[in-house]
Structure 1
């Protein structure tokens, strides 16, 4: 620090490009590279990047309730991050599940802050023990995507402390993440990157956090306040609000040298912690490290996250007596592996339910029907298009300047037609460029087929030289996080086997055109295509189901319906009730119907009483198909439990009255009563409770005992309970401990989760489970005291198999009230 000029120190406070910090060669300060994201280290490019391990999403990992697996996931992600030549991973995401409609809920862990905090701590420890920096995000109050850059989250201090700050507090106390990412939203009137209360008072002051704070991408909203309150690094670069503006603020006396020194020192310390000084100056090329150990871990995490919600009449597992299996549903032959947005990546490989079941089923007969079409947007044209040379995908030509003039500077073969060029247009053509996309389609059927085009800038689509879609001067924005247009659709008559030349012309001008803002952005487009056969999908599926011994219906959402950038509009399965009608018809045709739902959030289940078996399959990454097949066919006993409540209907959820808010403000009016706390308080029966999940075996709990009768401010108590596997197969049970405050001065939830343990048991085996509590299990935040308080009085510890399945209780007391700050 002493060797750096003021200008050099200021330069460290903003990144140099999309993923790298600023280097200072003359002082040997290298650029540190970061990479997304929570369920895999993607590397340099948002689309079509280096193949990487695709792990289960956050909520699927949370459904394991297994801190050991989360620790191993962290260690694996450390190696994956290093293979992408990065030193910090932008993960984990620990925002709360306030509403079932949250667009990024799949990426986060739970509705409960303890589950979220404990699992994220294990993840962070594994990652940082592997030498890679964790970036816990998004700090704080980032529970929706609607108006995500500008929404003001209005949260009273008590719920802010007890729910939304709590996972960060636990992780910082137990795992000490090397970086924190501030969120886009405002918190009580101030953007999170410049919020004095959350950054300076709580994070830096009370929690004594001395690590790095970076902004979310494009989420630095001030020059002076963000630095003064401790947001050290503006991402991405080049800087928009720092650099010269910081120098001007120093000259005006708005910032001091000490302000700059503190932030710059934290940037340098972070670079050192992440090991960047020990690496070669020149960054190596990204590489893939697809190992069997990683495959096995992902598959195990899938087994332990798959959550068996219902299993009447021993419908599952599917035994050898079943000779004909019907696999039905829009997700059956698709690899629904993750949600959309910055959590996405190019996986090493993918597995589908159909392929995996067929491979493991041996000589049994497999029949199939799609049952429904549920695309939010048209399927990518890359599913069928090829280049003139026969390669899958498209030819992408880049031109310097926005007029498509001259010869292309770069020609690339891209395998997919989601061509958003957010971070992967060649630097040499910036800042103003144009591009052509060339490909051809050979349709499989004759008819008027549908094309779709959405674009970030202006774009036109031609078929065989004729203009099909003119999207040049679009004004209506779509939902995707890339600021693109709505998808424009058009029909074109095509003959099966014919060759049709497709051409897209576009540039990176900003649309809708702005008179005051920048004229050029990042550009890009998405090309969709589908051939729509005229048939009754549901009737076909019912006939297939009726012919089989068992019917597996694989339904749910996907990366188009759940994504960063927008929230869900309904809790219903898409699209227009088609999947609900499909399930009802199949269940009527075959009484042994198994519903497998793939989603990162709860869905409504109007057919819940019509089917004997339901599995919540989440998004499980590259081993999703294999893990599911293992469980369906009985190779593995599932052991997941719900980290969120599944309500019967959207109107039952705690945020229903205040979602998504109005005038870009959202009031967290439910206070401390989210998730199971809300359902307990109003005595609303959920469809499936928090902590629920059954097994192919059964478990019996003994009477719990407790190590003492009084809990002090520095003491601990241990609750002991025996758990026995009373069935015939090995299994894992998740014992949960909830604490009830018998009488409190302020309203408190009926009970709050305080501990949990996952235990493996052979048939007939009994083990004693230990769950330890301390002051954090009994306290609540009292704003009038500006402190946490454990009040004098009686408490009950409830040992449970779920939030509604209490197996025993113990009692203890706090002899004298005590308070603490952090």
Structure 2
């Protein structure tokens, strides 16, 4: 789910759940979650499309058209008189957040998409899908907006962490299992974003320009695999243009390919605010617009029918697709929507810990520094991410987890010897949210918000709320039903420092905003003009230093409205009000030398574990990374260099959702890629470090040595709102093969605490036909002393082709768990898809006559 930057309508943002549009229960207040209660069992009939057709026949034209736009921010339109319930959507893909963006109902936070992909474990992805479905139900939702299957075209992509891989086959196969797991429980999966949405820079207006072959072989391929194997009940169109036409109205991708070639029979929804026309989007096959908006459909669609630009059949096709999704998920269930609830299950906790550990990827382990001996090793845990919950990336994938586990805590629980700790450095992009230091007017943790109807603070307070978090971006959670479309609000909180000093408060405002400290105006952002870098529109982060005394509260009061800022945007977008809000940060003055503390701790310990990386501020939906370097300003690189000098037995743990530059990679003996692991991040890491779990993760994306080595380096992020996919077919390992550039760590790479031997492979036959697959049979042996899993990767090389092809392409993979000295045989089918490519001169897919080599490896560069 995404914010809206597009031109709006009639002076008021139509996408903010207008008060007249909500026709089902709204999400409860965020202060607490409702107690658990059993959900009524909904029996979904099997022939959903014919039932949808029957309901469609009973609708008036106006009712049909009303189904083509959402009823509010998250729900489809209900027509109770005709037995049509509303269905509710919820953001994924690493959890089911529910209806509030920040501080909503607590939910299970799973590892991010790239971490799931690092498991290379199809069965595990199916189980994850099943648990995500149960979480979706606990949020009273019927549709999970997941999985994200956009390609890792460039390491700086802001949403790489949320997607699976640089390889379309790995992405498609894992997405298929994930979708099957979700839908096995009667919840709809929404595969997204269709298509060519590989960057966040100018994401609403960027034109992704590419040839037909890479479009087919790389960017459409994961969708095609998932639709062929799992039939997701919904597809979400992307924001961008594809070869000059917006994705929501792109007849080539939505109609010619998705519907006609692939025979897709599900529902296409827009991304949030991602509809760009009336006639074209409906005719191309974008069935339902999210969220509620009066901008493109309703009267405009009816007028287009009157004028002959749309036909009744166009409307019927779209409305029938919407009704089919309703039938698949809710049938005739007209009962009131339950309040969101928590469903914190022990089996889900265990699964998240298991999946997290299985995704952790051991990149380097010289001298067998790992695993650590819990009984004898004195460990120094160092780094800016060591004592923080770096559980997920930023944007619509974020949620309010049931709990978090911190690396430092988990290591202390596991280790039997003393564990030292030093932070080492800061990596803040913005100051941390002030929430841990804040109390509201009643003395409870959080902020008191007093809301007024209208944007002038006039009259009585209409609504009073308590919010736990001081991240108060209010795009989807202002109480518009009580306030109307224009509002003003006063947020009050009391910050109590733990130490005396000159501390810093930061303030970022979405609309007009003023910050008062103890009643005095400290920052006036009423008419701010300089925009910051955040997922939502907002100012830059302004800071004010305040002399504070330990234990003595300081009052912060914010006055804010939802008038649009900067003012210049009001004319550009033909609107005066959008969504308001602010963010309050706080940091106490540093009183120690963090680097020296870290060096001292490292010298005193047997082993130093340095936990570095990115976080949800550096890696997020809404913007791309500016550099592959670790933030900020080289502080983490300097920390690692200093620690390895102080202690040669240094293990670097990197938490990120995409590659980072590692100038110290040759100096440290061990490197662990820990991704974003959700609520069990600390426990999963400790399990691997101490050998309670044998790491088996393999990289789903190449880690390059330098940004300059990457495939899209010359074509990122484009110019004049166009980005040329000039690298063609050669993204990821295909590029490094073709250019003979050695990466830092190759695609598919990942070490273990044991060793594996591959037996001699054989094929069931040597001639492939279109009707039956060839089977590859081979033995894998664990030649070490501990149990472990190995992922066998099968690549194919075309010896001679009419058109240029990559050196090799992943066509299959199989993960096998082996006890010490155990041997297992694996059988892997290879079908026509394993040797085919797309020829746009035909046009069509072709499997040419000729010789193909099957390459079996432990990574893209370790061909056995």
1:113-136: per-residue Cα shift (whole Å, max 9, x none)? 000000000000000011000100
1:429 pairs with one of 463, 483, 486: 483
1:42 is aligned to: 97
Secondary structure at the residue paired with 1:277? coil
Distance in 2 of aligned mates of 1:9 and 1:213:
16
2:648 pairs with one of 591, 602, 605: 591
1:317 and 1:634 in contact (8 A); partners too: yes
2:729 pairs with one of 649, 672, 681: 672
Does structure 1 residue 283 correspond to structure 2 residue 337?
A: yes
1:515 pairs with one of 571, 577, 582: 571
Distance in 2 of aligned mates of 1:96 and 1:422:
28
Distance in 2 of aligned mates of 1:594 and 1:529:
31
1:322 and 1:550 in contact (8 A); partners too: no
Secondary structure at the residue paired with 1:540? helix
Q: What does 1:123-522 align with in structure 2 at a 5 Å threshold?
A: 123-274=178-329, 276-320=330-374, 322-362=376-416, 364-426=417-479, 427-513=481-567, 514-516=570-572, 517-522=574-579
Distance in 2 of aligned mates of 1:158 and 1:429:
52
Q: Which runs of 5+ in 2 are unaligned?
A: 1-55
Distance in 2 of aligned mates of 1:488 and 1:519:
24
Distance in 2 of aligned mates of 1:448 and 1:298:
41
1:789 pairs with one of 836, 846, 862: 846
Distance in 2 of aligned mates of 1:219 and 1:206:
24
2:108 pairs with one of 41, 50, 53: 53
Please report how far the alpha carbon of residue 207 of structure 1 lies from its aligned counterpart in structure 2 after TM superposition: 0.5
1:780 and 1:788 in contact (8 A); partners too: yes
1:95 is aligned to: 150
Please report how far the alpha carbon of residue 518 of structure 1 lies from its aligned counterpart in structure 2 after TM superposition: 1.2
Secondary structure at the residue paired with 2:778? strand
Distance in 1 of aligned mates of 2:452 and 2:176:
47
1:447 and 1:493 in contact (8 A); partners too: yes
2:472 and 2:583 in contact (8 A); partners too: yes
2:47 is aligned to: none
Of 404-413 and 464-473, the range deviating more from structure 2: 404-413
Please report how far the alpha carbon of residue 805 of structure 1 lies from its aligned counterpart in structure 2 after TM superposition: 0.4
Distance in 2 of aligned mates of 1:388 and 1:149:
40
1:322 and 1:549 in contact (8 A); partners too: no
2:130 and 2:181 in contact (8 A); partners too: yes
1:499-518: per-residue Cα shift (whole Å, max 9, x none)? 21110000000001113521
1:699 pairs with one of 756, 760, 764: 756
Q: Call closer, same or farther: CA 1:316–1:278 in 2, change over 3 Å.
A: farther
Please report how far the alpha carbon of residue 321 of structure 1 lies from its aligned counterpart in structure 2 after TM superposition: 5.2
Secondary structure at the residue paired with 1:519? strand
1:471 and 1:488 in contact (8 A); partners too: no
1:62-110: per-residue Cα shift (whole Å, max 9, x none)? 0000000000000001111111111110000000000000000000000
Please report how far the alpha carbon of residue 624 of structure 1 lies from its aligned counterpart in structure 2 after TM superposition: 0.5
Distance in 1 of aligned mates of 2:331 and 2:800:
55
Q: What does 1:626-775 align with in structure 2 at a 5 Å threshold?
A: 626-775=683-832
Distance in 2 of aligned mates of 1:674 and 1:642:
15
Please report how far the alpha carbon of residue 577 of structure 1 lies from its aligned counterpart in structure 2 after TM superposition: 0.3
Please report how far the alpha carbon of residue 366 of structure 1 lies from its aligned counterpart in structure 2 after TM superposition: 1.1
2:361 and 2:697 in contact (8 A); partners too: yes
2:374 and 2:414 in contact (8 A); partners too: no
Distance in 1 of aligned mates of 2:466 and 2:199:
36
Distance in 2 of aligned mates of 1:359 and 1:321:
12
1:554 is aligned to: 611
2:84 and 2:334 in contact (8 A); partners too: no
Please report how far the alpha carbon of residue 280 of structure 1 lies from its aligned counterpart in structure 2 after TM superposition: 4.1
Q: What does 1:563-578 align with in structure 2 at a 5 Å threshold?
A: 563-578=620-635
1:580-626: per-residue Cα shift (whole Å, max 9, x none)? 00011111101111100000000010000111111000001000100
Distance in 2 of aligned mates of 1:358 and 1:279:
50
2:173 pairs with one of 104, 118, 127: 118
Secondary structure at the residue paired with 1:806? coil
Of 507-516 and 328-337, the range deviating more from structure 2: 507-516
1:294-323: per-residue Cα shift (whole Å, max 9, x none)? 001101101110000001111001014534
Distance in 2 of aligned mates of 1:387 and 1:215:
39
2:119 is aligned to: 64
Please report how far the alpha carbon of residue 459 of structure 1 lies from its aligned counterpart in structure 2 after TM superposition: 0.3
2:614 and 2:655 in contact (8 A); partners too: yes
2:13 is aligned to: none
1:16 and 1:239 in contact (8 A); partners too: no
Of 421-430 and 154-163, the range deviating more from structure 2: 421-430
Distance in 2 of aligned mates of 1:306 and 1:278:
44
1:677 and 1:750 in contact (8 A); partners too: yes
1:254-277: per-residue Cα shift (whole Å, max 9, x none)? 000000000001100110011x13
1:191-229: per-residue Cα shift (whole Å, max 9, x none)? 000001101110011001121000000000000000001
Normalised TM-score (structure 2): 0.92
Does structure 1 residue 625 correspond to structure 2 residue 669?
A: no
Secondary structure at the residue paired with 1:62? helix
1:126-157: per-residue Cα shift (whole Å, max 9, x none)? 00011000100000000000001000000110
Does structure 1 residue 30 correspond to structure 2 residue 58?
A: no
Please report how far the alpha carbon of residue 383 of structure 1 lies from its aligned counterpart in structure 2 after TM superposition: 2.2
Please report how far the alpha carbon of residue 702 of structure 1 lies from its aligned counterpart in structure 2 after TM superposition: 1.1
Distance in 2 of aligned mates of 1:322 and 1:316:
13
Distance in 2 of aligned mates of 1:279 and 1:384:
45
Please report how far the alpha carbon of residue 239 of structure 1 lies from its aligned counterpart in structure 2 after TM superposition: 3.3
Distance in 1 of aligned mates of 2:376 and 2:440:
45
Secondary structure at the residue paired with 2:828? strand
Please report how far the alpha carbon of residue 532 of structure 1 lies from its aligned counterpart in structure 2 after TM superposition: 2.6
Secondary structure at the residue paired with 1:506? strand
1:781-816: per-residue Cα shift (whole Å, max 9, x none)? 011011111111110000100000011xxxxxxxxx
2:83 and 2:334 in contact (8 A); partners too: no
Distance in 2 of aligned mates of 1:765 and 1:448:
62
1:811 is aligned to: none
Please report how far the alpha carbon of residue 712 of structure 1 lies from its aligned counterpart in structure 2 after TM superposition: 1.1
2:80 and 2:334 in contact (8 A); partners too: no
1:779 and 1:791 in contact (8 A); partners too: yes
Distance in 2 of aligned mates of 1:346 and 1:51:
5
Query: For this pair of structures, how many residues does the alignment match?
Result: 805
Please report how far the alpha carbon of residue 367 of structure 1 lies from its aligned counterpart in structure 2 after TM superposition: 0.8
CA RMSD in angstroms comes to 0.9
1:15 and 1:239 in contact (8 A); partners too: no
Please report how far the alpha carbon of residue 480 of structure 1 lies from its aligned counterpart in structure 2 after TM superposition: 1.0
1:311 and 1:614 in contact (8 A); partners too: yes
Distance in 2 of aligned mates of 1:451 and 1:500:
11
